[in-house]
Amino acid sequence: MTTTITVTLRFFASIREALGCGSESCATSANDVAGLRDMLIARGAPYADALDRGKSVRIAVDQQLCNESAPLRDGAEVAFFPPVTGG
């Protein structure tokens, strides 16, 4: 049986600009970040390009850097952003 969870998506910098959105609530049946990213890419433009796997996109779940194998739970905060350039 597929369970649906709700996660909060956060987007920053060039990805936020490309999507025209910094945050959204999202219902998903994905159980890891890879599945969630697949779902977002499948929405088509502008998500498909902004989150394309040919691009360097960093991911944080609940404000911890992680990779696409990170599991999701209901209520998780999942952020997608470009390489960081502080300092």
Partner 1 sequence: MPVPRVSIQTVDFNLADEVAALRHGDKRVGAVCSFVGTVRDRNDGADVAALELEHYPGMTEKAIEAMLGAAHRRFDIHASRVIHRVGLLQPLDQIVLVAVTSAHRGESFQACEFIMDYLKTQAPFWKKEQTPGGARWVDARATDDAALQRWGIDSSNR
Binding residues for partner 1 (CB under 8 A): 10, 12-14, 56, 58, 60, 63-65, 67, 79, 81-87
Considering beta carbons, is residue 40 or 79 the nearer one to partner 1?
79
What are the start-end ranges of the H helices in the chain?
13-19, 33-41, 47-50
CB of 78 to partner 1, least distance (A): 12
* Distance in Å, CB of 1 to partner 1, minimum: 33
Tell me how far apart the terminal alpha carbons of the chain are, to the nearest angstrom.
47
Which of residues 17 and 29 has its CB atom nearest to partner 1 in the complex?
A: 17
Q: What are phi and psi of 45, to 5 degrees?
A: -65, 145
SS3 83: coil
